[in-house]
Amino acid sequence: MKSIIQIFLPIILLISVENIFAQTDTTLIYRLTLTDDSELIGKIISENDSLLLFVTNAGLELSLQWEMIKEKEIIQGEWDGNAFVHSDPNRTRLLFSPTGRTLPAGEGYFSAYEIFFPFLAIGVTDFITLSGGMSLFPGAEEQIIYVAPKVRVLHLENFDLSGGVLYCHTSESDFGIFYGVTTIGSSKASFTLGLGWGYVDGETAESPAVMFGGEIQLSNSVKLISENWKLPEEDNLFLSFGLRFFGEHLAADFGLVTTTGETEGFPFLPWIGFAYNF
């Protein structure tokens, strides 16, 4: 029990930090579906119990009664001239590692990495994301159970700073990584840098692993992603690059992983992952 408290106490403390530094997010874009099934895309200026004041990208301000609105939802993307460009729905992760971003409250995703590692994640609040799952190795006598809470410490328009832990459990061992990660940039292009301290059975590494990566959106449905690692006391780097194909809710990744060290045979390990956001 003591080790569990040690793992999650830093996450709890980070919640109070977020409350101090939290700022109003003025970048949210909403899609309103009206009762006649027509749609409006824009920003909410203000709202109360009876009215919602809405402005479109063209600057048209509308005062709408709630009875006129069938559905209100946040959509990820930005305006490119008069066209709305969707952003990656799986913005909280690179190929596997977390970015500094968190899920909005009430949103979530189901994902699977290399087929055998599924995750289920949910945004408890705008700054707390809880995720976890269990490995699915066919025929194995035991599976790995894992949980991965993440707390956003600071959020600005193009800057996110978060901390979290990946906690893995088997009957013989507890292991994982404590980390801090920051993402700088927009939904079209960003850079992510993270530090992580691995631990096994209560023993934590003295030196951190370093993760650095980035994303560049190439079109309305394709993104280029790179995720790279420098492990403690390891001279070689682990490098990866791939493409993410995405729609409004579904994202699918295909990448290649390699090392700067010497390898025999084909130097790349294929990486496959997908995520469905809801």
Give residue-wise pLDDT tens across range 224-256.
Answer: 999 999 999 889 999 999 999 999 899 999 999
**C-alpha pair distances (Å), 264 with each of 17, 136, 241, 259, 267:** 48, 29, 20, 11, 7
- CATH value at residue 7: 2.40.160.40
In a domain, 148, yes or no: yes
pLDDT of residue 10: 52
pLDDT of residue 81: 73
Number of domains in the chain: 1
pLDDT averaged per 10 residues in sequence order, the chain, 278 residues: 49 48 58 92 89 89 93 82 83 96 94 96 96 95 96 95 97 96 93 97 94 95 97 93 94 96 89 96
Please give the residue range of the domain that contains residue 7.
2-23+87-277
pLDDT of residue 76: 80
In a domain, 160, yes or no: yes
In a domain, 65, yes or no: no
In a domain, 200, yes or no: yes
For 233, left (φ over 0), alpha (ψ -120 to 50), or beta? left
pTM: 0.79
pLDDT of residue 257: 97
In a domain, 13, yes or no: yes
